[in-house]
């Protein structure tokens, strides 16, 4: 099976990186991390265009976070930074939908972010983007609009931890397997959405996607 089909399979990992853009860390009043902050989403959180994002029960602040996703093609452990890109099969555009009020409560209580980050429909994704279509993944524009109004307009060159650095770091702790996805963090401009909103986002002129938001 091709890696393009593999990335949505149950059993694959969705490893997410938090606060990887200084301006986003600052807008939420968080310190800039000294090493990558990692969390997971289950594969049941994937959503494709044509189906709505569902605000989870009890959430009153569902934020959009547009992100570049890396698709792993070659399995590896303790991958060096210099060979990290050899493990990449392609990319996706993703939204790390975040129940910010759940996250704030979890942070206060020292609890995990599973409810805030991993609920059903929390990971809307584009189709698989072959690696040749993104000439320089470390210098590509990421944008997000809500109801036509630009909210996020960033560039992957502003990541704190580069893509090779992330792959190498993550693989010291978790074997990276074909079909695993790394969501590389969001630039600044995140905001709350409400039922009836339409979110559009894109990766330069390579891909764009659109999702409606409804109450779950």
- Residues of this chain that interact with ligand LVPGNMZS (CB under 6 A) are 16, 18-20, 24, 28, 65, 96, 98, 185-186
Nearer to ligand LVPGNMZS, 96 or 180 (CB): 96
Of 38, 29, 64, give the one whose Cα is nearest residue 165: 38
**Partner touching 121 among ligand LVPGNMZS, Mg ion, none, CB below 5 to 8 Å by kind:** none
Shortest distance, position 17 Cβ to ligand LVPGNMZS, whole Å: 7
Q: State yes or no: residue 65 binds Mg ion (CB under 5 A).
A: yes
Nearer to ligand LVPGNMZS, 5 or 26 (CB): 26
Nearer to ligand LVPGNMZS, 142 or 178 (CB): 142
Nearer to Mg ion, 65 or 180 (CB): 65
Shortest distance, position 2 Cβ to ligand LVPGNMZS, whole Å: 28
Q: State yes or no: residue 66 binds Mg ion (CB under 5 A).
A: no
| 71 within 8 A of 199, measured Cβ to Cβ | no
The pattern of x and - marking residues 95 through 114 that bind Mg ion according to CB under 5 A reads: -x------------------
Of 142, 104, 98, give the one whose Cα is nearest residue 121: 98
Nearer to ligand LVPGNMZS, 37 or 204 (CB): 37
Shortest distance, position 20 Cβ to ligand LVPGNMZS, whole Å: 6
**Partner touching 24 among Mg ion, ligand LVPGNMZS, none, CB below 5 to 8 Å by kind:** ligand LVPGNMZS
Q: State yes or no: residue 180 binds Mg ion (CB under 5 A).
A: no
Reduced 3-state DSSP string for the chain: CCHHHHCCCCCCCEEEEECCEHHHHHHCCCCCCCCCEEEEECHHHEECCCCCEEECCCCCCEECCEEEEEEECCCECCCCHHHHHHHEEEEEEEECCEEHHHHHHHHHHCCCCHHHHCCCCCEEECCCEEHHHCCCCCCCEEEEEECCEEEEEEEHHHECCCHHHHHHHHHCCCCECCCCEEECCCCCCCCEECCCCEEEEEECCCEEEEEEEEEC
Q: Enumerate binding residues for Mg ion (CB under 5 A).
A: 65, 96, 186
């Amino acid at each position: 099976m091709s890696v393009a089909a593999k990335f949505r399979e149950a059993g694959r990992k969705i490893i997410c990186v938090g606060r990887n853009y200084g301006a986003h860390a600052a807008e939420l009043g968080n310190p800039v991390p000294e090493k990558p902050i990692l969390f997971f989403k289950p594969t049941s959180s994937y959503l494709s265009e044509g189906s709505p994002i569902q605000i989870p029960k009890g959430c009153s602040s569902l934020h959009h976070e547009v992100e570049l996703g890396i698709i792993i093609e070659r399995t590896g452990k303790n991958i060096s930074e210099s060979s990290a890109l050899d493990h990449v099969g392609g990319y996706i555009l993703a939204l790390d939908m975040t129940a910010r009020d759940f996250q704030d409560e979890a942070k206060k209580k020292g609890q995990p972010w599973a409810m805030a980050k991993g609920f059903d429909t929390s990971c809307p994704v584009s189709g698989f983007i072959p690696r040749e279509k993104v000439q320089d993944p470390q210098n590509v524009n990421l944008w997000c609009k809500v109801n036509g109004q630009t909210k996020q307009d960033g560039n992957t060159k502003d990541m704190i931890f580069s893509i090779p650095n992330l792959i190498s770091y993550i693989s010291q702790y978790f074997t990276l397997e074909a079909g695993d996805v790394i969501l590389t963090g969001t630039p600044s401009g995140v905001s709350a959405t409400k039922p009836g909103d339409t979110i559009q986002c894109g990766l330069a002129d390579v891909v764009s996607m659109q999702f409606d938001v409804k109450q779950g």
